[in-house]
Structure 1
Amino acid sequence: MKDYRIGIEQNLAPIALEFFATFSRFEFALKRGNYAAGDEGKKASPDWISFAGDLGDDFFKQMEAADDARIFFEAPPKRLTIKIGGGVEFTDQDKLTNTQMLLAAVGLVRNNLFHGEKIWVGDRDEALIRASLFVLDSAYAAANAREDMRQVCGAFRYAQINPH
């Protein structure tokens, strides 16, 4: 019954597991930290766009200048797209020009790995994961430095679901 999971632990590097867990906790923290998108009574989704907008242009410029995030600006992750005539292929993305695009690229790294498109984590994948963790760590630090965004950081540390 579990045959479909055979080999996952051998093919998934510990850094990928760390990234998955960090990204998931970040999405939880965004939703609990007043960055939830969706209609009342419907599914809540993390509002990365508003969060990125609040981080602003200064954050983007810091990431653009950081060696640890360089891969996003020199060789960003590709997106799996539908080919004309059927099938799928990886395609290049536009040059990153703002914080929204940068955080979307981090999400793309997560999606490419999490949804199983990568059979194993190669050198490029690991570089993208490490850069993604750097961007997330930097976003956390930037949010924590601002009173109006600090609620995300408080929620990140396993905030109670139903506080009383």
Structure 2
Amino acid sequence: MTCFPLLSFLIAVVLVATVSSSDERNIVRIINSGSTNTNGYAIELHREGIVKWSVTHRGHQISSTTPSTPSSTTTQMSIRLPSALVISVFQALQQASPLNQYPPIFCIKSVSFGTTLHVIYNGQQSPDLDCPLEDSRLISLNKAVREVISFLHINTLG
């Protein structure tokens, strides 16, 4: 009789691990750090097309480790993206993966307006897409990501 609770627990752990692993492959996070003079933002794109994003007001820079919970310094929104746009991002990600294969990219930026732009997918982070890119896979990923950003009309100067 005592093996049933243990068996139930193990099944629950396996299911949670499977769902968590599956979720990581179905969510793309796009993080713009913001700067002294521009708002940062975090975008969460789900494979089924739902996109959620939050804008963090100036002076509250965000990074890939910033939690996505809303606060008094953020504005959150959510919509469904056109299928073609979602497919474009996930295809570019598939071609560019794994994202940790690329060395970090550094470039000179304005102190007041310089930002970083990273994509996080499947537990891996891209190099800074705001720097000049040479790898065609990163260029394609950058293009797809910027189409999403453009579609969302995110205001970074407000």
Please say whether Structure 1 and Structure 2 have the same fold, judged by a TM-score greater than 0.5: no
Larger radius of gyration: 2
**TM-score interval, normalised by the smaller of the two chains:** 0.3 to 0.5
TM-score, structure 2 length as denominator? 0.35
- Structure 1 or 2: more helix by fraction: 1
- Structure 1 or 2: more strand by fraction: 2
* Larger RCO (CA under 8 A, 6+ residues apart): 1
TM-score, structure 1 length as denominator? 0.34
